A and B are shown apart, each in its own frame.
Chain A
Amino acid sequence: MIDEKKLVKIVGAGNVSHDRAILEEYSRDMSFVNTIKPDYVVKPRNGDDIAKLVKLANETLTPLVPVSSGPPHFRGDTVPGTGGAVIVDLTKMKKVIRVDRAHRVAMVEPGVTFGELIPAVEKEGLRLNMPLLPRKSKTVVGSMLEREPVVMPKYQWDISDPLACVEVVFGSGEMFRTGQAAGPGTIEEQWAAGGAQKTPYGPGPAQWNRLIQGAQGTMGIVTWASLRCELLPKLEEPFLVGSSDLNKLFELVHWLIRLRLVNECLVLNNSNLAAIMAKKWPGDYADLKDSSPPWVLFFNVAGYDYFPEDRVSSQIKGISDITNRIGVEAVRAVGRVSAAEMLKTVRRPSDEPYWKLRYKGACHDIFFITTYDKLEGQISVMYELANEFGYPASDMGIYLQPIVQGANCHCEFNLFYDPQNPGELNHVEELSAEAVNVLMATGAFFSRPYDKSARMIVNRDAAYVEALTRVKEILDPNRVMNPGKLCF
């Protein structure tokens, strides 16, 4: 076991804990990974603390598990994969370092949540391209490092967006800055020269940010990150389109994104629409679900500084031409859900309790990347599996998020369940394991594999694993960073 005094020397006595109850909290989450208790939880105050912790971990071969977001955790990536680990809890690093309106970029420490950053950027006339209703404790840096889908596909040029640059302490203990932040000069000197930490690629031929994203903390610990922001619109006109025909909706989605007519753009089934929009439980939920069509597309038309009314009206004219051709109708409200209220809702983190927990107290997500043409078949497969495993298919939430300017679609099945009911829990666990296997055969791409299936998903391609391992050996030669995750 690592010497507690050495940890205290680095982060201070108040930031080291081996309290049994606290260690228990970090030993499990709502995923199905095995429970493993860490030895300590430490809360670094800054990048220097992190660098010293990683150095100590290398000297003592102690596993480190970085955690930026607060509980509840869902994916198993922050539960130690091996004994003797130290949790590096980054929630104390809460500085919004900079918001730069001119460059449309913000820089934050890893403990900053969406709820904390949104008002800071809004003050400067900016907004975030954020995931759908993150939980209140979810951090911006954590979300970007996990390549979570974002609700404005038009502004996601690359799957790595909105992440720009990071400062990272690699597993080797060395500090590195990616992209434009790498240099020349310190960050402050770059600002003085008129620069901003915005360009994500480089330095040199490599794109280091891509090696850190999706790594689940196995390559290093990020001490700050910059992210691109978008302008706050001057005028907005949100719409909903309800339909039982998913193909028609995605024909519309294709053209809305292709012609760059809309900002927010996403599709929900009636279960998720109700789970998100219901105010009073359980009555509201059931009413909303029953009164909504099977599928609802939400999109938002925006105007900026110049003649916003003209822009919005010309975009709506273009959209009308498309909806007329396809045979669907864009309206201000579907059932009891208004588009304006939906817009307000998706602009913020989830209210408490977290929307995925409201229905039954727990939720397990199965998510992957796919293409529009495969969606209907993959959803049918999932319904069949749900029936087979005794899970009520009508309870299943579905969230479809076009990403990367329409080149891909994030497909997410939300399996709500009662954690106090062992039967339900077992059904969901078994269904989840089988679903991953079956969906992979339909072309579902588990780009971000978590939980018990992660290793199986990654290990299917031996050549890819071999290449990843070589990268890992460079950045984390002693394998101190979150061992037991992915293929490491």
Chain B
Amino acid sequence: MAISKDVYKEFEDVVGEENISDDPAIKDAYRSPNITVVLPGDTEEVAAVVKLCNKHKIPFKAQSTGWSFMPPTYDFIFLDLRRMNCIIEINEKNMYAVVEPYVISAELQGELFKRGMICNVKGSGSTCTALAMSGHGHMGLTTSTGDRNDLATEWVTDEGEIIRLGTLGASDEWFCGDGPGPSLRGILRGGGVITKQATKVYHWPGPSVYPLEGSSPRYTLSQKPSDLNMMVRYFSFPSIEKLVEAELKIGESEIAFELMGFCPSMVSSNITTSNEEDFATLDKFTKEVQGPGFMVIIAGNFPEDFAYKKKVLAQIIKETGGKSLKTVEDPAVESTLLFQCTRVCASIRETFRAGGAFSSMMVQGQRYDNHVRWLEEAAVLKRELIKKGLVIADDGQQFGWGEEQGHLGHTEIFCRFNPYDEKSSKAVQEWLGKVGKRALDGCFAVPAMGVLPIDEIGKHVSNYHIWFGKLKKAFDPNEVGENTGYSYVGADISGVHTSIYKKEPEKASSKK
């Protein structure tokens, strides 16, 4: 047992015996020998559990739906929030929804579709939490990003205090998260537990339910996208410069519902159902495209709007020398991409399926065109790994997309590889380190967390790690809030997106 019987009983008193476990089988399921799993059912239970952690100086880690689980190597309480799974409110008139942390985007989106609305879905996929916290996604062009969609929020600090931001604290309502005075939305990430949150939602011009036909895993739509005032195309360009020009013009003209900077391998992953089929399709696409590309979805609010948007798209593509990928013009393929890329249900195929793991260098917020030079260097290095057979062959392409009609953006390049192959894992980690260092030295961007030691990054970036460390200390004086994923001073440096494949958990030790 990770904690004493007496202390275990105190936690059990809060959540009930059916909602706490340190059974070895359960620990194994969570891939950690150091874990005591607690399943709180509401905000008060979360606060009580966190207060107990403070009382006994036991570290805790909370998780909603999870994506990249990085369990600490010391004994800890794990707050699994899966019981907190209610959509509390959908407010159509004021365009927000209120969710608990275990509501997944697919559930919320399904309810919103019925009302002609949609939420931002993170790139990690629609099975991830609908909380508007961090995470950029395929529909960022029109549904913004996690960092900017949150409204009022209920937050349990690392000390177990319940803080209700904005209108929630003032009048028990959800429509605004800022104030009175300075906005504590500024310190939400990286500490404490969000127990309820309002998120902005947006207009959805598509159907209330997709008219799916076929059977798993090969679905398509019974209606052509054009019958729904929607269109999906993939365009390749003669050069990166032309691609960037087209992307910026599309953003500025406000015609696209979604612009996803897929490279051909991501398109082939989306429309195929096995690796064999995927690689064959990629081979075909690679021969067909003229250079880098992106996928774009046009959606009209009414027929005249749809016609106008298509007309502008055609003009922009003509001006920039874009070439449409014929396979995607097939309505069956087009409709598959349409529902998969708006329901965002193919993220795992894009990333994990080919090799079993992927490691990514991403920059969230800055526009794609800011990073082209740096990413081209990263792509050259990646191609060397492809040549050596250390990562999956996908022509080494980077990708990115605009957000908020091109005001902001997302940029990413990843390597898919076999995590059981030590040489591959090592090579990818070294690649990440080199690319991250180049991002700093070239003044391009702040590399993804976990790539370089945080104090190495922080000294190049206004010493933010020191300031964040001060915030952390102020709100977590007993140092019980485990936030490795957000990397402050002294944080572990963990691999990115690979840890769920680690077979053997690290050996338990006491927290230093």
Q: Contact residues of A with B, CB < 8 Å?
A: 102-104, 147, 157-160, 176-177, 179-180, 182-186, 189-190, 192-196, 198-216, 218-219, 228, 231, 254, 258-260, 304-307, 310-311, 313-315, 317-318, 321, 369, 371-373, 404-408, 440, 443-449, 457-458, 460-461, 463-464, 466-468, 470-471, 473-474, 486-487
Partner of A486, one of B181, B439, B488: B181
Chain B residue numbers with a CB within 8 Å of A449 are 179-181
New A-B pairs, 20, CB < 8 Å, besides A159-B177, A176-B467, A406-B95: A147-B178, A183-B460, A196-B367, A198-B366, A204-B486, A204-B488, A210-B183, A213-B178, A214-B179, A215-B182, A231-B252, A258-B95, A310-B308, A311-B308, A371-B91, A371-B94, A408-B94, A445-B180, A457-B180, A461-B169
Chain B residues within an 8 Å CB radius of A183: 443, 446, 460-462
Q: 1/0 contact trace for B180-206 toward A, CB 8 Å?
A: 111111110110000000001011000
Contact with A along B468-503 (1 / 0, CB 8 A): 101100110000000000111000000000000000
A219 touches B182 (CB 8 A): yes
Contacts A408-B176, A448-B180 given; indicate if A463 touches B462 (C-beta within 8 A): no
**What is the minimal beta-carbon distance from B491 to any residue of chain A, in angstroms?**
11
Known A260-B254, A463-B169: A199·B308 in contact at CB below 8 Å: no
- Which one of B167, B179, B305, B470 lies within 8 Å of A474 (CB-CB)? B470
B241 beta carbon closer than 8 Å to chain A:
no
Q: Name which residue of chain B comes closest to A473, CB basis.
A: B474
Q: Is the CB of B464 within 8 A of A182?
A: yes
Contact check, B365 vs A205: say whether CB atoms are below 8 A apart: no
Q: Does B288 contact A (CB under 8 A)?
A: no
A471 touches B474 (CB 8 A): yes
Complex CA gap A447/B180 in Å reads 4
| Interface of B (DSSP majority class) | mixed
- A214's partner among B94, B183, B302 (CB-CB below 8 A) is B183
Please state if B302 and A317 are interface contacts (CB–CB under 8 Å).
Answer: yes
Residues of chain A with a CB closer than 8 A to B311's CB: 306-307, 310
A203 → chain B closest CB, angstroms:
4
Instruction: Establish whether residues B462 and A201, one from each chain, have CB atoms under 8 Å apart when the complex forms.
Output: no
A372 neighbours in B (Cβ, 8 Å):
93-94
Contact-residue size bin, chain B (C-beta under 8 Å from the other chain): 35 or more
CA of A461 to CA of B179, assembled, Å = 11
Q: Which of B190, B406, B407, B475 has a CB less than 8 Å from the CB of A470? A: B475
B79 contact set on A, CB distance < 8 A: none
| A210-B182 contact given A202-B464, A407-B96, CB 8 Å threshold | yes
B307 interfacial by beta-carbon distance below 8 Å: yes
For A321, list chain B residues within 8 Å (CB).
302
By a CB distance below 8 angstroms, the chain A residues around B48 are none
A210-B182, A318-B302 are known contacts. Are A192 and B443 too (CB-CB below 8 A)? yes
How far, in angstroms, from A159 to B315 measured CA to CA in the complex?
34
Q: How far is the CB of A100 from chain B (nearest CB, A)?
A: 11
Nearest-neighbour CB distance to chain B for A265, whole angstroms, equals 14
A463 near B163 with CB under 8 A, answer yes
Q: How far is the CA of A200 from the CA of B403 in the complex (A)?
A: 13
Q: How far is the CB of A368 from chain B (nearest CB, A)?
A: 10
Tell me the minimal C-beta distance from A348 to chain B in angstroms.
24
Q: Is A466 a contact partner of B161 (Cβ separation < 8 A)? A: yes
Residues from chain A with Cβ under 8 Å of B373 in the complex:
193-194
A479 to chain B, nearest CB (A): 15
Chain B residues in 8 Å Cβ range of A474:
467, 470-471, 474
18 contacting pairs across A/B (C-beta < 8 A): A103-B367, A160-B178, A182-B462, A194-B369, A195-B444, A198-B365, A206-B464, A211-B186, A213-B183, A258-B95, A307-B308, A314-B305, A369-B167, A407-B96, A443-B173, A470-B475, A474-B467, A474-B474
Task: Report B's interface with A, CB cutoff 8 A.
Answer: 91, 93-96, 144, 147-148, 151, 157, 161-167, 169-171, 173, 175-187, 189-190, 200, 202-203, 248-249, 252-255, 301-302, 304-305, 307-308, 311-312, 315-316, 365-367, 369-374, 404, 406-408, 439-446, 458, 460-462, 464-465, 467-468, 470-471, 474-475, 486-488
Q: Say yes or no: A407 contacts B169, CB within 8 Å.
A: no
Q: How far is the CA of A223 from the CA of B443 in the complex (A)?
A: 22
A228–B407 contact, CB under 8 A?
yes
Name A162's closest neighbour in chain B (CB-CB).
Answer: B407
Q: Smallest CB–CB gap between A241 and chain B, Å?
A: 18
Chain B residues in 8 Å Cβ range of A196: 367, 370
Query: Complex: how many Å from CA A318 to CA B173?
Result: 32
Q: Judge whether B180 and A458 touch: CB under 8 Å.
A: yes
> Cα distance A215–B458 when bound, in Å?
26
Query: Chain A contacts of B181 at CB under 8 A?
Result: 214-216, 448-449, 458, 468, 486-487
Select which of A199, A201, A203, A209 is within 8 A of B461 by beta carbon: A203
Query: Is there contact, CB below 8 Å, between B169 and A206?
Result: no
Of B173, B366, B406, most A-chain CB atoms within 10 Å: B366
Residues of A within 8 A of B178 (CB): 147, 159-160, 210, 213-214, 447
Q: Please name all residues of chain A whose beta carbon is closer than 8 Å to the beta carbon of B93 when the two chains form the complex.
A: 254, 371-373
**The 3 residue pairs across chains A and B that have the minimum distance between CB atoms:** A185-B443, A199-B365, A205-B190
Q: What CA separation (Å) do A474 and B472 show in the bound complex?
A: 11
Chain A residues near B367 (CB, 8 Å)?
103, 196, 198
- Minimum CB–CB distance from B301 to chain A (whole Å) comes to 5
Q: How far is the CB of B43 from chain A (nearest CB, A)?
A: 13
A204-B465 contact given A371-B175, A372-B93, A470-B474, CB 8 Å threshold: yes
Contact A204 B147 (CB under 8 A): no
Chain B positions within 8 Å of A103 at CB level: 367
Q: How far is the CB of B173 from chain A (nearest CB, A)?
A: 6
Contact A203 B464 (CB under 8 A): yes
Task: Please determine whether B486 and A201 come into contact, CB atoms closer than 8 angstroms.
Answer: no
- Of B307, B315, B371, B475, the residue contacting A314 (CB under 8 A) is B307
Contact between chains at B468 and A206 (CB < 8 Å): yes
Minimal beta-carbon separation of A288 from chain B (angstroms): 31
CB contacts (< 8 Å) of B408 on chain A: these are: 198-199
Contact A318 B305 (CB under 8 A): yes
Distance of A186 Cα from B462 Cα, bound (Å) = 10
B474 contacts A259, CB within 8 Å?
Answer: no
Given A183-B460, A196-B370, A304-B254; A463-B161 close (CB under 8 Å): yes
Query: Are B170's CB and A318's CB within 8 A?
Result: no
Point out which of B164, B171, B366, B407 has the most chain A C-beta atoms below 10 A from its C-beta.
B407
Which residue in A102, A205, A228, A407 is a CB contact (below 8 Å) of B189? A205
| Contact A464 B167, CB 8 Å, known A206-B189, A214-B182, A407-B96 | no
Instruction: Give the docked Cα–Cα distance between A208 and B470 (Å).
Output: 13
Contact of B182 among A180, A194, A211 (CB under 8 A): A211
Whether A407 contacts B151 by the Cβ 8 Å rule is yes
In the complex, the answer to whether A305 meets B252 with C-beta atoms within 8 Å is yes
Contact A306 B180 (CB under 8 A): no
Contacts of B151 in A (CB 8 A): 407
Whether A448 contacts B462 in the complex (CB less than 8 A), given A176-B467, A474-B474, comes out as no
Decide: A213 and B440 in contact? CB cutoff 8 A.
no
Q: A305-B253, A460-B170 are in contact. Are A201 and B157 (CB under 8 A)?
A: no
In whole Å, how far is B298's beta carbon from the nearest beta carbon of chain A? 13
Select from chain B the residue with minimum beta-carbon distance to A442.
B171
| Cβ of A384 to closest chain B Cβ, rounded Å | 20
Say whether B446 contacts A202, CB under 8 Å: yes
Partner of A195, one of B95, B301, B443: B443
Bound-state Cα–Cα, A483 to B462, Å? 26
B169, B460, B462, most chain A CB atoms within 10 A: B462
Closest B-chain residue to A183, C-beta based? B461
Report the Cα distance A200→B440, complex, angstroms: 19
Q: Are B94 and A461 in contact (CB under 8 A)?
A: no
Residue in B255, B302, B443 whose beta carbon sits within 8 Å of that of A189 in the complex: B443
| Residues from chain A with Cβ under 8 Å of B182 in the complex | 210-215, 218-219, 468, 471, 486
A219–B253 CA distance with the chains assembled, in angstroms: 39
